[in-house]
Structure 1
Amino acid sequence: MSIVFSIITQKGGVGKTTTVNALAASFNKLGNRVLCVDMDPQGNLSFSTGADSNDSPTVYDAITGRVRVTSCIQHTSMTDIIPSNILLTGAELEFTGKNREFILKNILSVVDDKYDYIFIDSPPGLGFLTINALSASDYVIIPMLPDIFSLQGLVQVYETIEYVQKASNPELSIMGILINKYNKRSKLHKEALGTAQMISDNLDIPIFNTNVRNSPKLAEAHSLQTDIYSYCPKCSGVKDYDKISTEII
């Protein structure tokens, strides 16, 4: 059986898709069978992996029952992925009935024995698509920036996770808060990290021991649809995500 991770945030721009991309690359490098699921209608993860999200079946086609989920999986040079596109924005309006939070879980059960790890890139915000991602997951990772705005959204994310644990997935666990784009020389970042630690203690949420340093090379690799281990194997971001992978394992 595969272990399923959701990577969720309240706001965009905190390195959510970068985290999914990097973890998938790291786990693939370790010899694992990895599947990524792009649940963000923006499709940034799909683009960064070189997947075709225009002329091929996407996760929208799978959750609406138009095609089998196995027909949506693309085998790119970087990872296996179920891509997404803007059509996914209409999914919430299409599904209004009972048990709609289990749609993704049900379709992923078809491929559960084919992968070791599944990473779900959920959209910013805490709506229908994110609830589906959490309901299908074993663990959730919460990336955030070391700033006040990310800290403010952390409590909302926690409340959403609590709701899912009570309503649809009592086995869901928080793997941890992942601090992205961290600069140890910044006084503001140090203060934000201290505040994040206080919040994590109060809410009983772990924080990863490794903070991911700001690494423009990661963004460059994604924009060029290139594997991070081919593009910048020695950059700080790659080293940090390798440590994050070790912590997860």
Structure 2
Amino acid sequence: MTKVLSFINLKGGVAKTTTAVMLADTLAILGQKRVLVLDLDPQTNATLALIGEERWMQADDAGQTLAQLFLDQVNGTAIFDPARAVIRGASNLNLIRHELIDQLPDDVQYGRVDLLPSSIRLIDVQDRMQDISTRSHYAVSPMEVVRKFIAPLFTAYDYVLIDCPPNLGFVTLNGLEVSDHYLIPTIPDRMSTYGVPQIVNRVADVKAKRNLKISCLGVIITKYQSNSSTQKRGLERLPTDLETAFAPHGEPTPPILKTRLPQTNALAEAVIYERKVANYREKYGTGQVGGQAAYKYGPDLADELEELLSFHDLQGSLDEHVLHATHR
């Protein structure tokens, strides 16, 4: 079953996009999974990291970015084609030239990252999203665009990773609307975690009003510096801050993942698409950081997330069993 995860933080510069891209590479290249990345952030960082500027400009000029999808709803046009817009074989770790992917027989299966790209035009669209309901004669809600036009593609993938913009507007809500869980990547300092209660409150409000099942899968520590006293204090304070944010909504406090992504040059450079790399190890770094090679943090994170997802699946099955037993 497809797992849909959104990445969100209201603070920029916390490696939100870097974490999403690394996880996509890890699941696809090392785990042989089919991964779709939805870049809903108008900064287009995930898009540029996965396909580079030239292919992004081609997609944007052709009107095949997620910005055009929303513009179509606002303007009453039909330029965006979901199937055509998906860029297959993204990432500079992809082993098969993207021009050949569509020519492969249907029974050929291999792990890969696909992308639905973003565009800076999303900045303009966000202020006009409220017009979607009236334009569509209330057939489409501003929060349901991705669900209506993109979500049908999800079944072809093992994972869908959504890079949300650093705000809680309609574009972000479109991502949360179709997600099973959301993740909060953050540096463990006051400025980076300041917006967490806002995220929790907004998601809880939307979840209740729209009967969604989304939950916070966990908090991912990024740009971690073990010698930073500020970060050390932040880590000590974070469990209490999370409990305070989630408890009023009757939700369990999400875990802080054990895998802490370190501050490294290799991880920062990994999102440069044009950088020539031979393999996953070279892309994410072989230098020693925190007692292990830098490239091992991606697999550690992926393993931990998959364990959490398995736990949630098991818990959901138990809850369903109890519900059915109660109604007998």
TM range (shorter): over 0.9
Contact 2:48 / 2:273 at 8 angstroms: preserved in 1?
no
**1:72 equivalent in alignment to 2:75:** no
User: Which AA in structure 2 matches 1:135?
Assistant: E
Which of 130-139 and 202-211 deviates more? 202-211
Alignment of 1:1-249 (within 5 A): 1-28=1-28, 29-51=30-52, 52-56=55-59, 57-63=64-70, 64=72, 65-78=78-91, 79-96=113-130, 97=133, 98=138, 99-202=141-244, 203=246, 204-226=253-275, 229=280, 230-235=282-287, 236=289, 237-249=294-306
In the TM superposition, what is the alpha-carbon distance from 1:178 to its structure 2 partner?
0.8
Work out the number of aligned pairs and report it.
249
User: Which AA in structure 2 matches 1:55?
Assistant: Q
Write out per-residue CA displacement over residues 31-79 of structure 1, whole angstroms, 9 at most, x where no aligned residue: 1000101101111111111252222111122343422211111123422
Contact 2:266 / 2:285 at 8 angstroms: preserved in 1?
no
In the TM superposition, what is the alpha-carbon distance from 1:218 to its structure 2 partner?
1.3
SS of the equivalent of 1:190 reads helix
The 2-side partners of 1:155 and 1:245 are apart by 26
In the TM superposition, what is the alpha-carbon distance from 1:93 to its structure 2 partner?
3.4
Contact 2:34 / 2:158 at 8 angstroms: preserved in 1?
yes
Which of 195-204 and 169-178 deviates more? 195-204
Contact 1:24 / 1:119 at 8 angstroms: preserved in 2?
yes
Contact 2:129 / 2:170 at 8 angstroms: preserved in 1?
no
Which of 137-146 and 193-202 deviates more? 193-202
Contact 2:284 / 2:295 at 8 angstroms: preserved in 1?
yes
Unaligned runs of 5+ in 2: 73-77, 92-112, 247-252, 307-328
Scaled by the length of structure 2, the TM-score of the pair is: 0.71
The 2-side partners of 1:209 and 1:105 are apart by 32
User: Which AA in structure 1 matches 2:50?
Assistant: T
User: Which AA in structure 2 matches 1:231?
Assistant: K
- Hey, what does 2:97 align to over in structure 1? none
The 2-side partners of 1:76 and 1:114 are apart by 14
Write out per-residue CA displacement over residues 97-137 of structure 1, whole angstroms, 9 at most, x where no aligned residue: 25211111222222122111000111112111111111111
Which of 130-139 and 217-226 deviates more? 217-226
In the TM superposition, what is the alpha-carbon distance from 1:224 to its structure 2 partner?
4.1
The 1:211/1:163 distance shift into structure 2, 3 A limit, reads same
The 1-side partners of 2:176 and 2:35 are apart by 18
Unaligned runs of 5+ in 1: none
